[in-house]
Structure 1
Amino acid sequence: MKRIVINIDKFQSRAAIIENGKVMEILIERAEEGRINGSIYKGKVANVLPGMESAFVNIGLEKNAFLYVNDLREFEEKYLDGIYNSSRPIEDILNVGDEVVVQVLNEPRGTKGARVTTHYTLPGKYLVLMPNNDHIAISKKIKDEEERNRLEEIFKDITPEDMGVIIRTAAQGKTFFHFEREMEYLVKKWEDIEKKTSDAKVGEVLYKDNGVVTTVLRDIFTNDVDELIVDDLEAYWEILDYINAFSETTLKTKIKLYKAENGENIFDIYNINQEIDSALKEEVPLECGGYLVIEKTEALVSIDVNTGKNTGSYNLEKTVVNTNIEAAKEIPRQLRLRNLGGIIIIDFIDMRLEEDKKKVLDTLEENLSKDRIKNNIVHFTDLGLIEMTRKRTGKPLYHYFQEKCPICNGTGKVKSKEAVIHDLLKEIKSCCQDRDISAIKVILSKKLKIAFQETYYDFALEYAKNKKKKILLEDNNQNDYSFTIILMK
């Protein structure tokens, strides 16, 4: 059974996709930040970097956006001087101060600004309009050759000249009527964007991609979904209006309004909040007793598979293969649930037989195929690691629930007790050189105070006494190894 659960309040909109009782995806949009993937901005070139074949563009965000030269070609061809398939270097196309209209491909992350393009796309339920591209592409998931030809013929008739489309998987089996109505809607939307462009100021949003609810209706809510449950009356009627305009009316029977009893949150009723808490942990238990360790770095995501408590009932090789197969089923779910993208390295438990490796790889591919986000297994490396990629879309789940620890500053480690005590001794020695003070008050945690008094306190007292200073210790009621020094005259 496939179910979509939508929770809306005045601060955020959230949606969860549940398949066979398991939460597979979480979509979140918070009122104070919003999603910018797919949004179109009026920008100004802030810097051109010939050596990197790219430019930085000010689009009104905290960090300038990154525009690669290949993401600029079609803009040059259509809007600048009309050179077809130009291979001119970026410094001959853009100058600092030039205004350019760009669409966000990847949202800002870490120290990097957004990546932008001039290959504009406006997504609908059945098609994606490409306003400055005259190509017609069809989803690879539509396998039937006769259906592909039928769709191509329809879109040749309804697609405006000098525009192109990507025909989405949802278009399979649909009629001319569905496509014509959506094509008119998207073309009108693009015309509105072009009208705004000339008068828009730098940093102005010309087009904003849809919020969580519309994204769910457009990209996820199809006939294979058994029910959609929403807990907000206004959103409920908006959903019905959208279905009436763009989808089969039979989908309306699957939409249900949830009315909370005793103030219960719909995400608690379906155990979604519990799944979110689990998805924020590095360790993921497997039913067989093994576990995964998922770690995110700036460059990549690493996933380590371990047998854990799974000692097996047969031989070691069988235990290893069974653990790896279960991991191969769970890893795609965790990637979707946590919305992790980029380069992903998976360290399965070592297997000797090629046929066992193939079993695990086939299982991984089968489960990755259920992901609506584009992914690709590159290969088994020489070290036995699986290297794969998953397209980055939106923000990862941890972005909404976690921030850097103020104590360790994101390293996951803090200074050891001994290292902190050595820092304290160094500070005391330095303060003792000050002739204008008579005492040094050290305010420190109870744990640090006990460790300091056990070994180092007598030495510090003797040192201070020789400098004609006193040392006073005072608790700060903190449960860490922190200290503060106050100089007293």
Structure 2
Amino acid sequence: MKGRTIVLDHIEGREAAALMVDGKLDDFLIAGDAPPPGTIYRAKADRPVKGQGGMFLTTPDGPAFLRQAKGLAPGALLLVQVTGYAEEGKALPVTDRVLFKSRYAIVTPDAPGLNISRSIRDEDARDRLLEIAHDMMGESPYGLILRSCCAGADAEEIAEDISAMLAQAEQILDDPSTEPETLSEGDSPHVLAWRDWTDPADVFTEPGGFETHGVLDALDTARGIQEPLAGGGYLFIEPTRALVAVDVNTGADTSLAAGTKANFACAKQLARALRVRGLGGQITLDLAPMPKKDRRGFEQALRTAFRHDPVETTLAGWTPLGHFELQRKRARIPLKEVLK
């Protein structure tokens, strides 16, 4: 099945959204039990962490940890936003640079100025969007970013989006209460799908859509450790307490170039495989044997694949043992934690 399909449904009583590209599961979002990224709290500073420059905070959903909390005194109140999912037993990761993000607009209270996505290169389009931004933001001291999907979008829809995010920002930032409180819940999977999957797609919302469109079969693969590669090889993806181990296997191919082919196939598919499984943290690749002269090409292929991935990922490089390491933000909840 060619093309892009977005399926909104529920699985095991949890709201979920699937993005299918050419009949293959390309992304998957599912509601978990922890506060989702984007949740905004009024938190109270609890105790500093010596040597790390951070501060533990008190929130209605338990302890949170804020990095780079220099100058923050215990007992102080501040607004923070959840940035990802915490490992079991650890505090929620938060930032004090709160953003109000929607499909077209991001309001940035701590970064004044009107900005247009760099991917919009047409000067006429940029001028049109800048005019809309000026009209809607008026004399507001907050900043605004118009996202790439604004190109070609209806001006009225963009204006409504800006207005909604600006109103939400003003309401939360002007709230006079003085106790720790949840001020805004993070977006649900269905809202995130509308917000972030902006390329043209067929959208299906009928109950049972996951079964009809092959999502359940794809999830069976994603819940396992084995991921097939083009050319007949495999990835074995195994999360541990410390890291995610990825082993590249050449399968039945015994040719001299088998290792190189499997590694390049891994480079193309790894981002999708990690994304649908919701995996982050430290990723260590145990690659198939290949000549050192092919390493540069492998890195370039990996970099190209992750350039289009929505989850922030750093390519750390090679280890003395010939493994390749990545550091990936824990922006998704691991699939195996919510689907048994």
TM-score if structure 1 supplies the norm length?
A: 0.63
Q: 1:294 aligns with which of 237, 249, 262?
A: 237
| 1:111 lines up with 2:113 in the alignment | no
What corresponds to 1:67 in structure 2?
A: 66
Q: Is the 8 A contact 1:8 1:231 kept in 2?
A: no
Partners of 2:36 and 2:85 within 8 A in 1: yes
Distance 1:170 1:391, change over 3 A: farther
Quote the Cα distance in structure 1 between the aligned partners of 2:122 and 2:326.
28
Q: Any conservation in 2 of the 1:107–1:113 contact (CA below 8 Å)?
A: no
- Partner SS for 1:267: helix
Partner of 1:27: 29
In the alignment, what sits opposite 2:111? 133
What are the within-5 Å matches in structure 2 for residues 408-419 of structure 1?
none
**2:323 is equivalent to residue 348 of structure 1:** no
CA contact (8 A) 2:34 2:85 kept: no
Are 1:335 and 2:274 an aligned pair? yes
Residues 199-226 of structure 1: CA deviation (Å, up to 9, x unaligned): 3632x21111221211111111432x2x
Q: Is the 8 A contact 2:136 2:163 kept in 1?
A: no
Alpha-carbon separation, structure 2, partners of 1:58 and 1:394: 23
**Residue of structure 2 in register with 1:171 after alignment:** 150
Match of 2:271, SS?
Answer: helix
Deviation of residue 267 (structure 1)?
1.9
1:16 corresponds to 2:18:
yes
- Tell me if structure 2 keeps the 8 A contact 1:127–1:165: yes
How far apart, CA to CA, are the structure 2 residues paired with 1:380 and 1:183? Answer: 44
After superposition, give the CA deviation of every residue in 1:45-98 in whole Å (9 maximum; x if it has no partner).
Answer: 221234321111110224x100122xx5xxxxxxxxxxxxxxxxx3xx333222
What's the CA shift for 1:2?
A: 0.7
TM-score in terms of structure 2 length: 0.88
Matched, 1:222 2:221: no
* More displaced 10-residue stretch of structure 1: 119-128 or 265-274: 265-274
1:186 partner amino acid: M
Distance 1:291 1:304 in 2: 8
For structure 1, the 5+ residue unaligned runs are 73-89, 233-264, 403-489
Match of 1:311 among 238, 241, 254: 254
- The CA distance in 2 between the partners of 1:123 and 1:273, in whole Å, is 30
Question: Could you tell me whether the CA contact under 8 Å between 1:4 and 1:16 is conserved in 2?
Answer: yes
Alignment of 1:93-104 (within 5 A): 93-104=71-82
Distance of 1:146 and 1:376 partners within structure 2: 35
Amino acid in the other structure paired with 2:166: V
Cα offset, 1:303, TM superposition: 1.3
Which SS does the other structure have where 1:56 is aligned?
Answer: strand
The 8 Å contact of residues 292 and 303 in structure 1, kept in 2 or not, is answered as yes
Deviation at 1:294, TM superposition (A): 1.3
Where do 1:193-232 residues align within 5 Å? 193-195=172-174, 197-199=175-177, 201-202=179-180, 204-223=181-200, 225=201, 227-232=202-207
Bigger strand share:
2
Rounded to whole Å, the distance in 1 between the matches of 2:330 and 2:132 is: 32
More helix, by proportion: 1
The equivalent residue for 1:190 is: 169
CA distance in 1 between counterparts of 2:108 and 2:96 reads 11
1:395-436 deviations in whole A, cap 9, x for unaligned?
12122025xxxxxxxxxxxxxxxxxxxxxxxxxxxxxxxxxx
Are the equivalent residues in 1 in contact too, given 2:8–2:17 (CA < 8 A)? yes
Distance (whole Å) between structure 2 residues aligned to residue 6 and residue 180 of structure 1? 26
For residue 397 of structure 1, what is the aligned residue in structure 2?
335
Relative to 1, partners in 2 of residues 1:374 and 1:146: Cα closer, same or farther, differing over 3 Å?
farther
**Which amino acid in structure 2 is aligned with residue 117 of structure 1?**
T
Q: How far has the Cα of 1:279 moved from its partner?
A: 1.4
- Alignment deviations for residues 424-474 of structure 1 (CA, whole Å, 9 cap, x no partner): xxxxxxxxxxxxxxxxxxxxxxxxxxxxxxxxxxxxxxxxxxxxxxxxxxx
Structure-2 separation of matches of 1:184 and 1:390: 33
List per-residue Cα deviations over 1:102-139 (Å, max 9, x = no partner): 11112322221111121110101112111232144444
Matched residue SS, 1:324:
helix
Q: Counterpart of 2:51 in 1: which secondary structure?
A: helix
Q: Distance in 2 between matches of 1:382 and 1:146?
A: 51
Aligned residues: 337
Aligned to 1:43: 43
State the 1:385 CA deviation.
2.9
Give the % identical residues: 28
Work out the CA distance in 2 between the residues paired with 1:371 and 1:60. Answer: 32
Q: Secondary structure at the match of 2:289?
A: coil
Q: Displacement of 1:153 after TM fit?
A: 6.0
CA shift, 1:167, in A, is 2.6
- Residue 195 of structure 2 aligns with an amino acid whose one-letter code is R
Q: What SS does structure 2 have at the residue aligned with 1:51?
A: coil
Letter in 2 for 1:5: V
The residue type paired with residue 348 of structure 1 is L
8 Å Cα contact 1:290/1:305 also seen in 2: yes
RMSD over aligned Cα atoms: 2.6
Give the secondary-structure state (helix, strand or coil) at the position aligned to 1:65: strand
Which residue does 1:5 correspond to in 2? 7
- Tell me the distance in 2 between the aligned counterparts of 1:360 and 1:109: 30
Equivalent position to 1:162, from 124, 129, 141: 141
Q: Kindly indicate whether the alpha-carbon contact (under 8 Å) linking 1:328 and 1:360 is maintained by their aligned counterparts in 2.
A: yes
1:423-434 matched pairs, under 5 angstroms: none
Shift of 1:347: 2.6
Relative to structure 2, which stretch is displaced further, 179-188 or 293-302?
293-302
Which residue of structure 2 lines up, in the alignment, with residue 237 of structure 1? none
- Structure 1 residue matching 2:152: 3-state secondary structure: coil
Question: Which deviates the most, 172-181 or 303-312?
Answer: 172-181
Are 1:134 and 1:161, in contact at CA under 8 Å, matched by a contact in 2?
no
Query: Partner amino acid for 2:206?
Result: D
Whole-Å separation in 2 of the counterparts to 1:301 and 1:9: 25
